[in-house]
Amino acid sequence: MSQAFTRHRRLRKTAAIRSMVRETRLHRTDFIQPVFVTYGTNVKQEISSMPGVYNFSMDRIGEEIQEIVDLGIPAVMVFGVPETKDSVGSGAYSEQGIVQQAIRYIKEHYPQLVVIADTCLCEFTDHGHCGVVHAHEIDGHIHADVDNDESLELLAQTAVSQAQAGADIIAPSNMMDGFVYAIRAALDDAGFQDIPIMSYAVKYASAFYGPFREAAQSAPQFGDRKSYQMDPANVREALREAESDVQEGADMLMVKPSLAYMDVLRAVRENFDLPLVAYNVSGEYAMVKAAAQQGWIDERGIVTEMMLGFKRAGADMIITYFSKDVARWLREE
Ligand code: PBG
């Protein structure tokens, strides 16, 4: 009998043994918390599709940052909601831009906290696209043609102004071809050779970004992002995207979204040695929150499994709106 089958349960017998054979662990330093900064004063406004996530005005962002620092989370990702937008996204690369102000504030008061700047134009353009748009009509439909090379110049300018404000890491999310190349060159020219680029190398045209676009008021006003973000059906293309970013000088690679793209995380992990980031996006957060509020799922259990899944698939770091929650739970363990 003893030879006939394998007793896997021997290693599951006690909590102590289970902890010794555990292959993947979560640590608070795996996590990056996104924060939203907006104009005005005394604003702490909950994003309706993202319970527990708020838009803060500059005078109140400190409350949120303090909490993040107290929980031992090492990094934040800063997103800005500007008061005014225009066709070329000037607010993205203005010295007085909302993100630049927020970065300066955070670095002044919390110098140890790693500040990651999302480099994109979509929160700052009135049309909501990630670059410069030339719109034209075909058969009564408006087509948004985002000019790649013109956009690169503005994105490079944005990255440099974020670095000048004090950003520790530049994270371009705009999906223009050559964005790592253009941003690396501009950063180097401006004397920021030591600022790493966390490239949103593999970013899909995903319905999972819906709640974020509510938060950042950045939904495209016409057309969609399918001519620059990736087709969710493709994984070989993800390797080509990652490859070109590595060649252009990316220091870290990201896959976004995460939940429906675990195979992509695994594929990128197996093909590249750079640190790998999973972005657990707004729609993934919203789904869990909504079900939890109904009492249909165990939020802590579900979130913990998701986070373990991202790490098991190959992620070294996770950008998630659950970062504070996870850090709190880890402290209780
Ligand atoms: C900016 C950007 C987006 C997200 C991160 N950076 C929006 C988009 O591409 O539409 C989405 C993040 C999320 O859904 O949590 N381009």
Nearest ligand 1 atom to alpha carbon 212: 14
Q: Is 284 in the pocket of ligand 1 (CB under 6 A)?
A: no
Q: Name every residue whose Cβ is closer than 8 Å to that of residue 292 and which is 6 or more positions away in sequence.
A: 298, 299, 302
Q: What is the pLDDT of residue 67?
A: 98
Residue 323 lies in a domain: yes
Q: How many structural domains compose the chain?
A: 1
Residue 226 lies in a domain: yes
C-alpha to C-alpha distance for 42 and 63, rounded to whole angstroms: 11
85 is catalytic: no
pTM: 0.96
Burial class (CB within 10 angstroms; exposed 0-12, middle 13-18, buried 19+) of 304: middle
Q: Is 120 in the pocket of ligand 1 (CB under 6 A)?
A: yes
Q: What is the pLDDT of residue 1?
A: 58
Q: What six digits make up the tokens of 61? A: 């962002």
User: Assign residue 274 a region: left if phi > 0, alpha if psi is -120 to 50, beta otherwise?
Assistant: beta
User: What is the residue with the minimal CA distance to atom 5 of ligand 1?
Assistant: 173
Indicate which CATH number applies to the domain containing 133: 3.20.20.70
Residue 7 lies in a domain: no
Q: Is 321 in the pocket of ligand 1 (CB under 6 A)?
A: no
- Tell me the binding residues for Zn(2+): 120, 122, 130
| Residue of 44, 85, 256, 289 marked catalytic | 256
Mutate to test the pocket of ligand 1, among 212, 229, 277, 279 (most ligand atoms within 8 A of CB): 212
Tell me the backbone φ, ψ of residue 268, rounded to 5 degrees.
-65, -40
Residue 160 lies in a domain: yes
256 is catalytic: yes
192 C-alpha to ligand 1 centroid (Å): 25
C-alpha to C-alpha distance for 301 and 203, rounded to whole angstroms: 27
C-alpha to C-alpha distance for 82 and 39, rounded to whole angstroms: 6
Q: What six digits make up the tokens of 94? A: 């203005």
What angle separates helix 98-109 from helix 148-165, to the nearest 10 degrees? Answer: 30
Q: Is 322 in the pocket of ligand 1 (CB under 6 A)?
A: no
How much helix, strand and coil, in percent to the nearest 5, is found in the chain?
45, 25, 35
Q: What is the pLDDT of residue 214?
A: 87
C-alpha to C-alpha distance for 120 and 174, rounded to whole angstroms: 5
Mutate to test the pocket of ligand 1, among 49, 99, 173 (most ligand atoms within 8 A of CB): 173
Question: For 105-115, b where at least 16 C-beta lie within 10 A, e where not — what string?
Answer: bbbeebeebbb
C-alpha to C-alpha distance for 115 and 109, rounded to whole angstroms: 12
Residue 322 lies in a domain: yes
Quickly list H helices, 168-298. Answer: 179-189, 210-216, 236-248, 262-271, 282-293
Q: Convert 263-293 into a string of H (helix), E (strand) and C (coil).
A: HHHHHHHHHCCCCEEEEECHHHHHHHHHHHH
155 C-alpha to ligand 1 centroid (Å): 15
Residue 16 lies in a domain: no
Residue 294 lies in a domain: yes
Q: Name every residue whose Cβ is closer than 8 Å to that of residue 331 and which is 6 or more positions away in sequence.
A: 28, 71, 72
Q: What six digits make up the tokens of 314? A: 């190959």
Taking the CB of residue 225, how many other CB atoms lie within 10 A of it?
22
Local structure of residue 90 (DSSP, 8 states): G
Q: What six digits make up the tokens of 23? A: 């292959």
Per-residue pLDDT 10s for the chain (333 aa) are: 567 999 999 999 999 999 999 999 999 999 999 999 999 999 999 999 999 999 999 999 999 999 999 999 999 999 999 999 999 999 999 999 999 999 999 999 999 999 999 999 999 999 999 999 987 888 887 777 899 999 999 999 999 999 999 999 999 999 999 999 999 999 999 999 999 999 999 999 999 999 999 888 888 888 889 999 999 999 999 999 999 999 999 999 999 999 999 999 999 999 999 999 999 999 999 999 999 999 999 999 999 999 999 999 999 999 999 999 999 999 998
Instruction: Please check whether residue 77 is in contact with residue 118, taking contact to mean a CB–CB distance below 8 angstroms.
Output: yes
Angle at 155 between CA 154 and CA 156, to 5 degrees: 90
Q: Is 163 in the pocket of ligand 1 (CB under 6 A)?
A: no
Q: What is the pLDDT of residue 2?
A: 61
Q: What is the pLDDT of residue 117?
A: 98
Residue 328 lies in a domain: yes
User: What is the residue with the minimal CA distance to atom 2 of ligand 1?
Assistant: 173
Quickly list H helices, 61-172. Answer: 61-70, 98-109, 148-165
Domain coverage including residue 105 = 24-332
Q: Is 118 in the pocket of ligand 1 (CB under 6 A)?
A: yes
Q: Is 122 in the pocket of ligand 1 (CB under 6 A)?
A: yes
Nearest ligand 1 atom to alpha carbon 210: 14
| Residue of 203, 289, 311, 324 marked catalytic | 203
